[in-house]
Structure 1
């Protein structure tokens, strides 16, 4: 199963293994720093090892919560093809996903991004 994110990889800018999930330069788990880490012999870094299943579960909960609050995509199937219904008496707008037919009302739905009226600048005195 391919994943959207590669989290157990070297994260050092300039390393030849940057973002690579598998390399001959990796040795893991390494507990030199007191936690399970991935040792990259190419650059000498020790990025921490993460449990990918726990990360996927956390990301799924986070994305579902974001979808329910903002309404940009479906909280169940993450689809973006939606039907917007009329406004209810509270002023919010129910949305239905065209893929899985889930209906929900986002808490802070914004159809378009609102731009600020003016951008304030402050002078820096040194």
Structure 2
């Protein structure tokens, strides 16, 4: 059965990068995309993805605020929420964990490294 991943990021290129990285993983995954936390919250009224990746640095609403809003949705209480960004401070990492993030990852420089990271997270 195919697992569903939602990517919330103001940069649509991240969806293409994730799809390419997932091609290196034997299991079946499909990705959907929201370009803002607001769009994601609307989408999440009709869908329950298996994993949600949230960019930390977004305009208007940052990733931690988005994480908090998603955590309030009852059917997503057990869905792993992963904060990812170009850089994540230790303080942000701790705060994200306190708010319920499964983990935090820094966007890697290559698709191969992202594939390896995703294999570990999605295992």
TM-score by length of 1: 0.21
Give the structure with higher Rg (CA).
1
Q: Which has the higher strand share?
A: 2
Q: Which has the higher contact order (CA 8 A, sep 6+)?
A: 2
TM-score by length of 2: 0.21
